[in-house]
Amino acid sequence: MSSEQPNGGHKKPPIPTPAKKIPALNIDQRGDRLYEINFLHKWFAISSLLLFLITVAMIYADYSRGWKRYQRDFNRMQIARTRNDIQQANTALDRNRYTQLNQQLEQARAEMKQNEKQVDEIQSRKDDLKAKHYAVEQNYRVQKAVYDEEKYAYEEALAAEKAGKPHGNVQSLRTRLSETEKKMNDYKAQTEKLTLDIQAVDVELAKYVWKRDEAQKGIDTLLTEYNNLQTRLANLNPGLVVTSFRNAPVFDFMNASERINQIMLPTLLNDQPFKAVPKVDRCTTCHLGIDQKAYEDAPQPFKAHPNMELYLAANSPHPMERFGCTTCHGGLDRSVDFQTAGHTPRSEEQKKEWEKKYKWHVEHYLETPMYSMNNVESGCYKCHN
């Protein structure tokens, strides 16, 4: 039978019978998958755990650098020295003078207690005068800004008129400028008067508080060194929680105490392929006591530089801020690692010691290794030839 219709078309294909729906029961036992779901879950869990452990290991490797260990050691050394200085300052304190000043302070406070009403009244007047002085001074500053603007407009108009370009409102600008100047001067006079009034009140208040202020000033002077050392100790040792948090991964961008120190030397260049790159010395990341005389007898890498007045100090012929370290000593300026920095042993014994302690070996691709300590003055010939 022909499939053509009378009008020349073709018959539509028959609609297929709908497939029988199979309920999703016992899906793991149907056998219509290329993998077993329990097997997949197991390896997904294993791979996730491995990824987590590898990530933790990467972060640990990145944050357990050798220079950070040196900085922690130096921080502990600074804390120990500061505590020792505090003990010495405490021992050297003139106890008799301190007791005498404390007695004077208590006596002065007792006298102020008897005159508490007068002191409060004078202090209240002083506070009111200071508030008025602040308001008037602000008005003066605003009026001064308006005066400067109007003066500029007037001088521009006057210059245009003198140049043969008449400016019709010169006189009005002059009048307005005079009025603004008068207001500005009035505010200035009020400010000066209020300043004198405050000084007079201070003189009146000093009759009651001068003994207290003098005693407190004497105590502060006596304890200056001790208080400064206590402040230094608090900055060096804010506590384990604070130190751990500020140096923790992710959070160390805020204000980490363990950081790379570097000296920028834009006028001293390293000759690299196709371009000369400015030196960036990072030696002080580990050599933390290099410019502090207190560490002359400290072990390396914290030992102070010898003869700092000649080689290192700001007023020396070779200030560290301008010359850096590798300019004279050689080595890789950007390195913060003992091996890659290019240290050179001074003897065969030291070489064996470094090979055992640091796994030291010759950096074959470093063109400017450091001079060994017995040849350290060789670097002088770069300039003093």
Q: Which of 211, 237, 272 is the last residue of a domain?
A: 211
The confidence band for 167, taking pLDDT boundaries of 50, 70 and 90, is low
pLDDT the model gives residue 18: 72
Instruction: Say yes or no: 353 and 277 in one domain.
Output: yes
Q: What pLDDT score does 165 carry?
A: 75
162 is a domain residue: yes
What's the confidence (pLDDT) of residue 31?
59
What DSSP assignment string belongs to 308-345? Answer: HHHHTSTTSSS-HHHHTTHHHH-S-TT--STTTTT---
Side chain identity at 148, as an amino acid letter? D
By residue range, what is the domain housing residue 123? 115-211
Q: Does the pTM exceed 0.85?
A: no
Residue with tokens 């304890």, as numbered in its chain? 223
**Cβ 288 vs Cβ 74: under 8 Å:** yes
Q: What angle do CA 306, 307, 310 make, to 5 degrees?
A: 135
Domain membership of residue 285 (yes or no) is yes
Domain count, the chain: 2
**Is position 122 within any domain?**
yes
**Residue 221 in domain:** no
Residue 83 identity: R
Structure confidence at residue 326 (pLDDT): 92
d(CA 337, CA 341): 6
Domain end marker among 211, 228, 245: 211
- Give the tens place of pLDDT for each residue, 214-257: 889 999 999 999 999 999 999 999 998 999 899 988 888 888 99
Is 308 within a domain?
yes
Let me know if residue 169 belongs to a domain: yes
Structural tokens at position 85: 């200085």
Under 8 Å between Cβ of 376 and 305: no
146 is a domain residue: yes
Q: What percent of the chain shows pLDDT beyond 90?
A: 53
3-class DSSP state of 298: coil
Listed residues 143, 178, 211: the one ending a domain? 211
**Which letter does DSSP use for residue 173 in this model?**
H
Please state, in angstroms and rounded to a whole number, the distance separating the CA atoms of residues 385 and 154.
Answer: 66
Query: Would residue 240 count as lying in a domain?
Result: no
Distance CA 67, CA 120 (A): 58
200 and 284: one domain?
no
Q: Give the pLDDT of residue 1.
A: 47
Q: Does residue 353 surpass a pLDDT of 70?
A: yes
| 285 and 378 together in one domain | yes
Structure tokens given for 194? 């209020």
In angstroms, rounded to a whole number, what is the distance separating the alpha carbons of residues 154 and 177? 8
Query: For residue 185, what are the contacts with CB-CB under 8 A and spacing of at least 6?
Result: none
Lowest mean pLDDT segment, chosen from 20-29, 95-104, 240-249, 343-352:
20-29
